[in-house]
């Protein structure tokens, strides 16, 4: 029975080849950041308030003039097509049905236009990696604008790819090569293998310069893995602004001074994130730095959080500490692995129910009330 997020994770482990599961599940190096993301959430205890009217819990949040029905959205994840062919579209559709945004990764395996069509409504946002050849970013942003994407998320914490030892050990690399170990791994997961055979090999289709153009896997891999533009600075935001008039968010901010700089440079929102523990292994957990960032930003722009959110209680914790809403990465991918779009919807429903129950138990009918009732208990996070 799939009752908890951990159940979905265990099922994903059973249905995916090991190299795929570990690509999704793993973190950088010693995975100490990955662990800290969870530990620091668990350390935060929610002191309940009693005898308050919680007949109606309002889970919705207002973001850039839109109403999200739930206080979470789907974080951008690359290579979703390796978890399930058509994975980007499935995630987008499930999110649209839930009334929350889906963020499409630059490293997606379906074209931005196609994903928007499959979603059949709702909000899609685009996550941007800026590579040395800046024309790629310019072209992608223009296409997203034309296709009706609502917000742009610039990911700032991947000046270079994190070193994930599990991927190295499993022989999972880009460009993809079938090693004896991977062949053995795949042979033990025939269901996944059949799906991949019928779905075609996943490609980074959004990186081609021209629509319809297909870059070789080698070129795509080197673009993503080795060609990040490390000359990107705060001044580069002006260049991005000239391409994009809608909400612009910065993802991967952990330092309060960067939060202040972002607000000063006209960024419309921050995603406090350590990339789910996949980049700088020595980085602090997102939740531990959230209060400092919320304080520094002082309400000028909304602050969001991702990395380690696994339950409704985690969402309440983040909101109590000042996040407008959260993004989830791996949990949606566990759902995708377990049951495609339906699996993603099931995971989101689990989170939504969990959130509502946690709010009622802690005596809050809205995020605002949760924040107002917040009282540190037990061991402080920092």
Binding site for ligand FNR (CB under 6 A): 24, 37, 75-78, 105, 107, 127, 155, 251, 273, 275-276, 278, 306-309, 328-330
| Shortest Cβ 121–ligand FNR spacing (Å) | 23
Phi-psi category of 280—alpha, beta or left, where left has phi over 0 and alpha has psi -120 to 50? beta
Would you say 105 or 139 has its CB closer to ligand FNR? 105
Would you say 111 or 275 has its CB closer to ligand FNR? 275
Would you say 176 or 365 has its CB closer to ligand FNR? 176
Active site residue 255: no
Residues 6+ away with beta carbon under 8 Å from 300:
263
Q: How far apart are CA 94 and CA 341, in angstroms?
A: 6
Cα dihedral across residues 142, 144, 150, 152: positive or negative: negative
Nearest Cα to Cα of residue 79 among 346, 333, 275, 334: 333
| Shortest Cβ 7–ligand FNR spacing (Å) | 17
Q: How far is CA 182 from the centre of its chain?
A: 27
**Nearest position to ligand FNR, beta carbon:** 329
| Shortest Cβ 224–ligand FNR spacing (Å) | 9
Q: How far apart are CA 287 and CA 115, in angstroms?
A: 31
Nearest Cα to Cα of residue 204 among 255, 134, 129: 129
Q: What angle do CA 203, 107, 90 make, to 5 degrees?
A: 80
Would you say 23 or 363 has its CB closer to ligand FNR? 23
| Shortest Cβ 53–ligand FNR spacing (Å) | 32
| Shortest Cβ 9–ligand FNR spacing (Å) | 11
Answer whether 44's CB lies under 8 Å from 313's CB: no
Helix (H) or strand (E) segment spanning residue 256 = helix 256-264
DSSP per residue over 118-129, as a string? HHTSS-EEEEE-
Which positions are annotated as active-site residues? 275
């Amino acid at each position: 029975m799939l009752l908890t997020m951990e159940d979905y994770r265990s099922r994903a482990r059973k249905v995916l080849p090991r190299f795929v599961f570990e690509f999704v599940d793993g973190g950088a190096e010693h995975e100490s950041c990955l662990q800290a993301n969870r530990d620091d959430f668990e350390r935060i205890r929610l002191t309940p308030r009693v005898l308050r009217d919680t007949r109606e819990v309002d889970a919705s949040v207002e973001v850039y003039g839109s109403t999200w029905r739930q206080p979470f959205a789907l974080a951008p994840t690359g290579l979703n097509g390796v978890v399930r062919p058509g994975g980007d579209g499935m995630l987008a559709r499930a999110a649209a049905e839930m009334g929350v945004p889906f963020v499409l990764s630059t490293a997606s395996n379906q074209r931005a236009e196609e994903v928007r069509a499959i979603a059949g409504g709702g909000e899609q946002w685009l996550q941007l990696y800026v590579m040395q050849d800046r024309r790629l970013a310019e072209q992608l942003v223009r296409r997203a604008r034309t296709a009706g994407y609502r917000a742009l998320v610039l990911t700032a914490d991947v000046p270079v790819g994190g070193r994930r030892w599990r991927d190295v050990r499993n022989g999972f690399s880009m460009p993809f090569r079938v090693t004896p170990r991977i062949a053995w791994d795949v042979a033990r997961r025939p269901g996944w293998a059949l799906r991949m055979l019928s779905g075609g090999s996943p490609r980074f289709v959004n990186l081609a310069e021209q629509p319809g153009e297909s870059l070789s896997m080698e070129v795509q891999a080197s673009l993503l893995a080795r060609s990040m533009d490390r000359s990107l600075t705060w001044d580069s935001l002006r260049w991005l602004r000239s391409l994009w008039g809608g909400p612009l968010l910065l993802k991967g901010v952990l330092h309060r001074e960067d939060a202040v700089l972002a607000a000063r440079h006209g960024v419309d929102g921050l995603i406090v994130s350590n990339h789910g523990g996949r980049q700088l292994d020595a980085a602090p957990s997102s939740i531990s730095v959230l209060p400092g960032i919320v304080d520094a930003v002082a309400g000028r722009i909304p602050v969001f959080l991702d990395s380690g959110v696994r339950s409704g209680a985690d969402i309440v914790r983040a909101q109590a500490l000042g996040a407008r809403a959260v993004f989830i990465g791996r949990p949606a991918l566990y759902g995708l692995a377990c049951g495609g779009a339906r699996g993603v919807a099931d995971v989101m429903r689990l989170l939504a129910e969990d959130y509502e129950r946690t709010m009622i138990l802690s005596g809050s009918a809205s995020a605002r009330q949760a924040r107002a009732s917040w009282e540190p208990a037990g061991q402080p996070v920092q």
